[in-house]
Structure 1
Amino acid sequence: MQLRYDQAKAWVERLLEHYTVVREQVADSDMLNSDTPSALHTETLDVYLVHFVFRNNNGRDILELYVDTDKGITVGECAKLSRHILEMMDSSPDAAELFSDNFRLEVSSPDVSKPIRVPRQYVKNIGRKLRVRFLDNLDEERTVEGRLKTAELHGDDKFIELTTQRKKKADKTSDAPPTVKIPLDRIRDAIVQVEF
């Protein structure tokens, strides 16, 4: 089953390498109130795989794909991707070998309450509050909560930086709030904190 799982995941990843979401947006919000036709801005976003589940339940293959873009993904975009995948499966001999006829495909966005699984997810969460569990320089586990300020995902020094709240007024040594820089390879888990 592991070999089949790995092959199915590789097939999906190859398919997603060439799949993009195209969004059209009004270029200027003032144009909504004007009598002239709205100018549209087209944006192309790469879809990436966050989590892949391939299992068999009572003889039925179930493929669950959790996908995203750097600016989020809508239910409609997930449905369109699902239709595209099914079309590709129908025309691919590789897919016919990997997936049974008794098959279910589920494509959705990642659950906001689940930990971040892919470093690229940090990009779309800049400005949001995170709770991060990580190993410090002494290999002791720490947890910090703060607003994601930066996500450096390229180069040798990959890290996130959080702006945290001061615990006491006596800690105020500058006007800037304290920040915590955490190397990506030291992060155990990071969960977006939903704010109301």
Structure 2
Amino acid sequence: MFKEKVSSLLNKALEEYPSLFLIDFMVGGDNAIRVVLDGDEGVDLQDCMNISRAIEHNLDREEEDFALEVTSAGAASPLQLPRQYKKNVGRKLKVRTGEGELEGNLVEATEDNITLEWKAREPKPVGKGKITVQKKQDIPFSEIQEAKVILKF
């Protein structure tokens, strides 16, 4: 019952902030509520506070004691939803599939797959030496085991 009430408050709060979306939500033992958000334009502290307040101010600690944590998906967290890929178009990803790992620039993200582009050194078709070729591959979401944005410092 408590989880349903929190879930309803969370969904109502997210409707007010359409650029935010839910990555993870759980209510553990001792009513420890954990909410992980992401956003089309990122998530800042104010976003976390807004969602936190929308939940906290509508629960009564006299009725039920709880702990509440609202965080953003970390920069190093694996991407989980198609919406997260869309906001990262143009960035470099490391993608692991059953066939191995690929690194490339995310050039497109649809509801079903992503498209990566990268340059590779390959032997010349004729003669000695190598040439740089542009590679491109579509990867269905169903084949992605893990994908992370490669952070540049």
TM-score (norm 2): 0.81
Q: Which amino acid aligns with 2:21?
A: Y
SS at 2:48 equivalent: helix
How far is the alpha carbon of 1:78 from its aligned partner?
1.0
Distance 1:118 1:87, change over 3 A: same
How far is the alpha carbon of 1:133 from its aligned partner?
0.9
Q: Which runs of 5+ in 2 are unaligned?
A: 125-129
Q: Per-residue CA shift, 1:59-113, capped at 9, x if unaligned? A: x2211111122111111221122112212335xxxxx9xxx72211111110121
- Give aligned pairs, total: 147
1:152-191 matches, within 5 Å, as: 152-153=110-111, 158-168=112-122, 170=124, 172=131, 177-191=134-148
What is the rounded CA distance, in whole Å, between the counterparts of 1:9 and 1:159 in structure 2?
33
Do residues 112 (structure 1) and 109 (structure 2) align?
no
Q: Which residue of 1 aligns with 2:66?
A: 103
Do the aligned partners of 2:9 and 2:58 also contact (CA within 8 Å) in 1? no
Q: Which runs of 5+ in 1 are unaligned?
A: 21-44, 91-95, 136-140
1:39-58 matches, within 5 Å, as: 45-56=18-29
Do residues 70 (structure 1) and 3 (structure 2) align?
no
Q: Which amino acid aligns with 1:195?
A: K
Q: Per-residue CA shift, 1:138-180, capped at 9, x if unaligned? A: xxx3210111110012xxxx11011112133636486xx2111
What is the rounded CA distance, in whole Å, between the counterparts of 1:105 and 1:116 in structure 2?
24
Higher relative contact order (CA 8 A, sep 6+): 2
What is the rounded CA distance, in whole Å, between the counterparts of 2:119 and 2:131 in structure 1?
11
What is the rounded CA distance, in whole Å, between the counterparts of 1:130 and 1:51 in structure 2?
22
How many percent of aligned residue pairs carry the same amino acid?
Answer: 29
Distance 1:69 1:161, change over 3 A: same
Do the aligned partners of 2:107 and 2:116 also contact (CA within 8 Å) in 1? yes
TM-score (norm 1): 0.65
The structure with the greater share of residues assigned to strand is 2
Distance 1:84 1:187, change over 3 A: same
